[in-house]
Amino acid sequence: MTRAPFGTRLTEAVAARGSLCVGIDPHPGLLDQWGLPRDASGLERFALTCVEAFAGDISVIKPQSAFFESYGSRGVAVLERVIAEVQSAGALVLLDVKRGDIGSTMAAYAQAYLADGSPLAADAVTVSPYLGFGSLDPAVEEAERTGRGLFVLALTSNPEGVGVQRAVGADGVSVAQSIVDQAAARNAAQRAATGAPLGSLGLVVGATVGSTGLDLSELGGPVLAPGLGAQGAGAAELAEVFGPTLPHVLPASARDVLRHGPDAAALRTAALRVRDELAAAAR
């Protein structure tokens, strides 16, 4: 199957449906809140209600893989169905798996989540570069080959990440900035080869990290910004963190929207309200 590069498809989706990315996070506490059992049947009802609510109007849907995997093979089967149904409804699937390994193991992860024909193949996945950016090469190459994307962890909001991500090397460049720079180089090459408006190699930068110290001006790709809503980030925080890069940012919200369930119409209304608020703030 020949598909346009992820950066092209993402640009078109955001133009048509807005920049909001909504997470499907079947956290046990949310299952309780929705009155659902903490088992695979409750997981399925939760996830498919989210698909019904979001997939027809939101540009990017982000299932959190861990909450599906925790139910074993039945949970993974639900995840496969979610991916297929979201894509059938016209939204892009960004599967939050944060995989990172080396050699043949990373290649196997790439086959699982990025290869044509895999039931878990999403439009993009999150990956971790902290075994070295080059360890991601099998995933980068598979994503480019199949028109899919990657979002590489760069600067996250969890306090445990500070010592690694903000550490400065002998060259005076922070670890996070080195990740930005390597992603930018890959995006520049891909855009030159394909003419895509946006590279397919994105970053993950938390919406609540404050002043990042990162230079994102040459990234040439999208940025996933988790932390919108319940974690405290709004339009002002997004502008502070991302500045001129904001047009390429996907603000992500999960629990702040999901708390409006289990009614699909209420969930849809909540998501559209956030989407429209972001659009208004960007004008």
Assign 3-class secondary structure to 153-199.
EEECCCHHHHHHHCCECCCCCEHHHHHHHHHHHHHHHHHHHHCCCCC
pLDDT at residue 27, as a whole number: 97
Q: What is the pLDDT of residues 35-90, one digit of tens each?
A: 999 999 999 999 999 999 999 999 999 999 999 999 999 999 999 999 999 999 99
Q: Over 70: is that where the pLDDT of 5 sits? A: yes
pLDDT at residue 162, as a whole number: 83
pLDDT at residue 213, as a whole number: 83
pLDDT at residue 207, as a whole number: 85
pLDDT at residue 211, as a whole number: 74
List Cα–Cα distances, 201 to 17, 19, 168, 242, 278, in angstroms: 21, 17, 23, 17, 23
Does the active-site annotation cover 98? yes
- Interatomic CA distance for residues 143 and 100, integer angstroms: 15
Least confident stretch, 47-61, 222-236, 264-278: 222-236
Domains, in order of start, for the chain: 6-277 (3.20.20.70)
**Mean pLDDT, rounded, for 132-160:** 95
Point out the catalytic residue in the list 27, 98, 259, 260.
98
Q: Over 90: is that where the pLDDT of 99 sits? A: yes
Q: What is the pLDDT of residues 154-175, one digit of tens each?
A: 998 888 888 888 889 889 999 9
pLDDT at residue 230, as a whole number: 63
pLDDT at residue 161, as a whole number: 87
- Interatomic CA distance for residues 228 and 167, integer angstroms: 26
pLDDT at residue 267, as a whole number: 98
